[in-house]
């Protein structure tokens, strides 16, 4: 079998570049792109069946009001953990928990019978007091390029199964009155950030993330190594840290070993402008240190 060295984000980037070319068959390419995103969505969706990931659950339980989770992942493990979180005083809802207004969508969208979810009492009472900022988009997000409305599927059906990602994005229409535009997914490979600056809520989310980093007294970085392709993220963290006057503690959780670990810690010290970092090699070991 021929083994490809392309990773998921490289495939997305290459397809996007090719779609920018004015070539015959561009519509078929666009369709292939949508199908690739759907395949990604369905694959990631599989890991959501069953119990929520214990580590994500533990992290969600450790959050306090006003805390922010910044994610560069498209998958929904943290969303799922927050959605199922039952803890006094802590609330997270799709409607405002992503840092932007988002309309929940319900059901298995056949195409036509898609409806907005009836607001539950809890949602109506509203006001998420923890935020999940997904700076590269999310597999459950659908965006209307016409009126700017963001939609997301609710995270579980009656049996507790995930129904977040179903159907083709381009077959689902915006439910805003008189709009009816077809929706698009919001999956942003870091190398393509510039293509997405035109979606108004994307710069808004980055701005919120930067402000949260600027105010933070404690920052925990889990499995993120500031890849060089993600120059925007590097820039955001460095800018925020210059203005941060209250940072007390930085914790790194990363499986890197040997030389890679040394390089990683050196990079983190430089970005966070600290001499000392708490370090955990293992996510399970880290989550066992968290307060419930």
Tell me which residues touch Zn ion (CB under 5 A): 144, 146-147, 174, 176, 179, 181
CB 230 within 8 A of CB 136: no
> Taking the complex as a whole, how short is the minimal distance between the CB of residue 114 and Zn ion, in angstroms?
13
> Taking the complex as a whole, how short is the minimal distance between the CB of residue 147 and Zn ion, in angstroms?
3
Q: What's the token pair of residue 168?
A: 């083709």
Q: What's the token pair of residue 78?
A: 């943290």
Helix 8-20 to helix 26-46 angle (10° resolution) is 160
Q: Using CA atoms, how far apart are residues 25 and 166, in angstroms rounded to an integer?
A: 26
Nearer residue to Zn ion within complex by CB, 135 or 142: 142
> Taking the complex as a whole, how short is the minimal distance between the CB of residue 145 and Zn ion, in angstroms?
8
Nearer residue to Zn ion within complex by CB, 28 or 178: 178
> Taking the complex as a whole, how short is the minimal distance between the CB of residue 34 and Zn ion, in angstroms?
18
Nearer residue to Zn ion within complex by CB, 183 or 219: 183
The sheet carrying 115-116 orders its strands as: 115-116, 102-106, 150-153, 137-143, 184-187
Nearer residue to Zn ion within complex by CB, 175 or 234: 175
> Taking the complex as a whole, how short is the minimal distance between the CB of residue 229 and Zn ion, in angstroms?
32
CB 103 within 8 A of CB 174: no
> Taking the complex as a whole, how short is the minimal distance between the CB of residue 148 and Zn ion, in angstroms?
7
> Could you tell me the CA-to-CA distances from 255 to 34, 46, 144, 282 in Å, in that order?
33, 24, 39, 6
The sheet carrying 249-253 orders its strands as: 218-222, 249-253, 278-280
Phi–psi pair at 23, nearest 5 degrees: -120, 155
Nearer residue to Zn ion within complex by CB, 144 or 150: 144
> Taking the complex as a whole, how short is the minimal distance between the CB of residue 173 and Zn ion, in angstroms?
8
> Taking the complex as a whole, how short is the minimal distance between the CB of residue 174 and Zn ion, in angstroms?
3
Nearer residue to Zn ion within complex by CB, 34 or 103: 103
CB 154 within 8 A of CB 104: yes
Q: Pick from 116, 100, 181, 101: which is nearest to 154 by CA?
A: 116
Q: Residue 53 carries which DSSP code?
A: P
Angle at 7 between CA 75 and CA 183, to 5 degrees: 45
Nearer residue to Zn ion within complex by CB, 68 or 181: 181
Q: Using CA atoms, how far apart are residues 267 and 225, in angstroms rounded to an integer?
A: 8
Q: Pick from 223, 235, 226, 136: which is nearest to 187 by CA?
A: 136
Nearer residue to Zn ion within complex by CB, 146 or 156: 146
């Amino acid at each position: 079998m021929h083994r490809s060295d392309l990773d998921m984000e490289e495939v997305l980037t290459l397809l996007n570049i090719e779609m920018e070319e004015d070539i015959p068959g561009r519509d078929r390419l666009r369709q292939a792109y949508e199908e690739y995103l759907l395949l990604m969505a369905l694959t990631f969706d599989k890991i959501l069946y069953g119990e929520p990931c214990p580590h994500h659950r533990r992290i969600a339980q450790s959050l306090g009001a006003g805390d922010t989770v910044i994610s560069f992942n498209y998958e929904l493990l943290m969303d799922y953990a927050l959605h199922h979180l039952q803890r006094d005083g802590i609330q997270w809802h799709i409607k405002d928990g992503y840092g932007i207004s988002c309309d929940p969508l319900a059901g298995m969208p056949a195409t036509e019978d898609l409806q907005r979810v009836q607001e539950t009492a809890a949602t109506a009472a509203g006001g998420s007091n923890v935020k999940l900022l997904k700076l590269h988009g999310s597999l459950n997000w659908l965006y209307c390029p016409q009126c700017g409305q963001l939609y997301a599927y609710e995270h579980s059906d009656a049996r507790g199964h995930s129904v977040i990602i179903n159907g083709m994005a381009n077959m689902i229409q915006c439910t805003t009155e008189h709009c009816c535009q077809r929706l698009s997914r919001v999956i942003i490979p870091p190398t393509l950030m510039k293509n997405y600056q035109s979606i108004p809520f994307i710069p808004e989310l980055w701005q919120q993330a930067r402000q949260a980093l600027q105010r933070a007294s404690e920052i925990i970085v889990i499995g993120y190594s500031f890849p060089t392709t993600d120059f925007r993220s590097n820039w955001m963290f460095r800018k925020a840290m210059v203005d941060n006057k209250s940072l007390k503690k930085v914790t790194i959780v990363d499986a890197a070993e040997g030389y890679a670990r040394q390089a990683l810690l050196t990079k983190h010290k430089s970005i966070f402008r600290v001499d000392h970092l708490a370090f955990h090699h293992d996510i399970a070991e880290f989550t066992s240190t968290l307060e419930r």
